[in-house]
């Protein structure tokens, strides 16, 4: 028997190839995991940080659509953190089409098309992750529970409101948290016993015994299914009465129910960013015991400066996150997140907004409840988020009224 630790016998397969249509236009030119988040990061940084902080050092990132910026970010930000001599790596794997000559047909097919990686590495366990979730989790705790319970598959889960459960996988468990029922995105989710308003939902984090995973993927590949974990693999394992366990998600630092967000829509993306601005944020970016890694920016510190015009006014940023290279020059920024090299000029106001890199806000401009993608120059006196009807004629506007300005859009 191997004397290595269970984590050393584990390979992570991080799925980062989704189209991300519900995040359009932010995903017009980039994969969803590459979308900027929290002023400084990309969405994928949070799952990759969980891997490093948990001790998972063999990671395959499966990419597909519009992957250029994602490849560049992972290569530049994450490649230097791994020690090849010790067998550590983060590999970027586009569709190889070795098994079938096609794009990935579903989440299970994405792993099946790369099954040769498991044949080469021969891990005992496979950790399957998604690159578009924001959370903090110790995968080592989940792996130990998987081993202790003798499971073939363990699924991380948490209780969510019934209304949210319609877009997630919903499970039914017995008193030992053995999964006895699983429905993917049900129209009428089954509530947990004793609480009709709450369902037990999958977080899309799975640990498989490699031999069980390979057998299930091989069986599924011979069928005309959706080749999806939630729709096909998991329900089949439950029907066969294989040992499938639920793992109740807890924050690794507080041991309380953790913060987890599926960045599936523009509104959920906006809300998750705004969560970081709370006085006591539910997700703490500053905890040294669980660092969130990303690209190190070679940029000067963010600053606010005075502006002397008709009257004297001080550039201010209140309850906001400002990345390196930002300048607030006489404007006012409130409850907003500014990515690197954003400039907010005199007498302008930015409120409840997210500005991506190299956005320039002209003098006397007003930006409210907006997401402005990279390389946008907002002209002097321009207004976004003030007149809803005018905004809808020019931009994407979400159900809750968030205005989204596409990358590089010329405003006049």
Q: Is the CB of residue 323 less than 8 Å from the CB of residue 339? A: yes
The CA distance from 56 to 45, in Å, is 14
Provide φ and ψ at 343, rounded to 5°.
Answer: -125, 130
Break the chain into its structural domains and give their ranges: 6-275, 303-405
Torsional sign, CA 90, 92, 96, 99: positive
How would you classify the pairing of strands 321-322 and 327-329? unpaired
Residue 264: per-residue pLDDT: 87
pLDDT in tens, the chain (412 residues): 456 899 999 999 999 977 788 999 999 999 999 999 999 999 999 999 999 999 999 999 999 888 899 999 999 999 999 998 899 999 999 887 655 556 778 899 999 999 999 989 999 999 999 999 999 999 999 999 999 999 999 999 999 999 999 999 999 999 999 999 999 999 999 999 889 999 999 999 999 999 999 999 999 999 999 999 999 999 999 999 999 999 999 999 888 889 999 998 999 999 999 999 999 898 889 999 999 999 988 888 888 876 544 444 456 778 999 999 999 998 999 999 999 999 999 999 999 999 999 999 999 999 999 999 999 999 999 999 999 999 999 999 999 999 999 999 999 8
pLDDT at 1: 43
- Name, in order, each residue with C-beta under 8 angstroms of 205's C-beta and a sequence gap of 6 or more: 127, 128, 129, 130, 137, 139, 142, 155, 156
Q: How far apart are the first and last CA of the chain?
A: 69
**Contact at 8 Å (CB) between 276 and 321?**
yes
Q: Which helix (H) or strand (E) holds 217?
A: helix 210-221
What is the rounded CA–CA span in Å between residue 245 and residue 202?
Answer: 11
For the CA atoms of 391, 395, 398, 399, the dihedral, rounded to the nearest 10 degrees, stands at 50
Is 218:122 a contact under the CB 8 Å cutoff? no
Place of tokens 């468990």: 173
Q: Check residue 94 and give its pLDDT.
A: 86
**CA proximity to 293, closest of 125, 59, 93, 29:** 59
Nearest CA-CA partner of 248 in 180, 199, 200: 200
- What DSSP state is assigned to residue 300? P
Distance CA 36, CA 308 (A): 33
Q: Assess contact for 74 and 92: CB atoms under 8 A.
A: yes
For residue 234, what are its two tokens?
């998991």
Strands (E), 296-361: 303-308, 312-314, 316-318, 321-322, 327-329, 332-334, 337-338, 343-344, 349-351, 354-355, 360-361
- Can you name the CATH fold of 6-275? Spore Coat Polysaccharide Biosynthesis Protein SpsA; Chain A (3.90.550)
pLDDT at residue 375, as a whole number:
98
Contact 238, 244 (CB under 8 A): yes
- Sign of torsion over alpha carbons 63, 65, 70, 75: positive
Q: What is the dihedral of CA 213, 218, 222, 223, to 10 degrees?
A: 0
Q: How far apart are CA 227 and CA 106, in angstroms?
A: 5
pTM of the full structure: 0.94
Longest dimension (CA), the chain: 78
pLDDT at 249: 96
Q: Which residues of 31-44 are buried (b: 16+ CB within 10 A; e: fewer)?
A: bbbbbbbbbbbbbb
Q: What share of the chain is helix, strand, coil (3-state, %, to 5)?
A: 25, 30, 45
pLDDT at 388: 96
Alpha-carbon torsion angle 332, 337, 343, 344, nearest 10: -20
- The span from the CA of 229 to the CA of 206, in Å, is 10
- pLDDT tens for residues 286-327? 999 999 999 988 888 888 876 544 444 456 778 999 999 999
Q: Is 40 helix (H, G, I), strand (E, B) or coil?
A: coil
What does the pLDDT read at residue 213? 97
pLDDT of residue 166: 93
Give CATH superfamily name and number for 303-405.
Hexapeptide repeat proteins (2.160.10.10)
């Amino acid at each position: 028997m191997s004397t290595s630790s269970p984590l050393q016998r584990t390979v992570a397969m991080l799925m980062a190839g989704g189209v991300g249509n519900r995040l359009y236009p932010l995903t017009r030119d980039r994969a969803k995991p590459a979308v900027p988040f929290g002023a400084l990061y990309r969405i994928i940084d949070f799952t990759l940080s969980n891997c490093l902080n948990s001790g998972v050092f063999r990671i395959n990132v499966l990419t597909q659509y519009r992957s250029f910026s994602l490849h560049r970010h992972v290569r530049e930000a994450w490649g230097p953190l791994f020690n090849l001599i010790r067998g550590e790596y983060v590999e970027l794997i586009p569709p190889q089409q070795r098994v079938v000559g096609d794009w990935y047909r579903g989440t299970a097919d994405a792993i099946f098309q790369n099954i040769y990686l498991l044949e080469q590495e021969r891990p005992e366990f496979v950790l399957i992750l998604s690159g578009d979730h924001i959370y903090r989790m110790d995968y080592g705790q989940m792996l130990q529970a998987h081993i202790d319970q003798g499971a073939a598959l363990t699924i991380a889960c948490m209780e969510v409101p019934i209304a949210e459960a319609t877009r997630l996988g919903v499970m039914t468990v017995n008193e030992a948290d053995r999964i006895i029922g699983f429905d993917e995105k049900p129209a009428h989710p089954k509530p947990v016993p004793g609480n009709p308003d709450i369902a037990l939902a999958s977080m899309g984090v799975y640990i498989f015994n490699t031999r069980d995973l390979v057998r299930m993927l091989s069986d599924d590949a011979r069928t005309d299914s959706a080749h999806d974990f939630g729709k096909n693999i998991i329900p089949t394992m439950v029907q066969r009465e294989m040992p499938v366990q639920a793992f109740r998600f807890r924050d690794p630092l507080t041991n309380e129910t953790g913060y987890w967000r599926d960045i599936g829509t523009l509104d959920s993306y906006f809300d998750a960013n705004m969560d970081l601005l709370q006085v006591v944020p539910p997700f703490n970016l500053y905890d040294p015991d669980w660092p969130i890694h990303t690209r190190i920016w070679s940029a000067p510190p963010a600053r606010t400066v005075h502006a002397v015009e008709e009257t004297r006014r001080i550039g201010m940023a209140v309850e906001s996150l400002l990345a390196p290279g930002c300048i607030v020059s006489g404007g006012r920024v409130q409850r907003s997140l500014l990515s690197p090299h954003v400039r907010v000029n005199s007498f302008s106001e930015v409120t409840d907004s997210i500005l991506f890199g190299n956005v320039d806000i002209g003098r006397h401009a007003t930006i409210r409840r907006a997401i402005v993608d990279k390389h946008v120059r907002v002209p002097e006196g321009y207004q976004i988020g003030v007149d809803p009807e005018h905004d809808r004629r020019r931009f994407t506007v979400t159900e809750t009224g968030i205005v989204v300005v596409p990358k590089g859009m010329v405003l006049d």
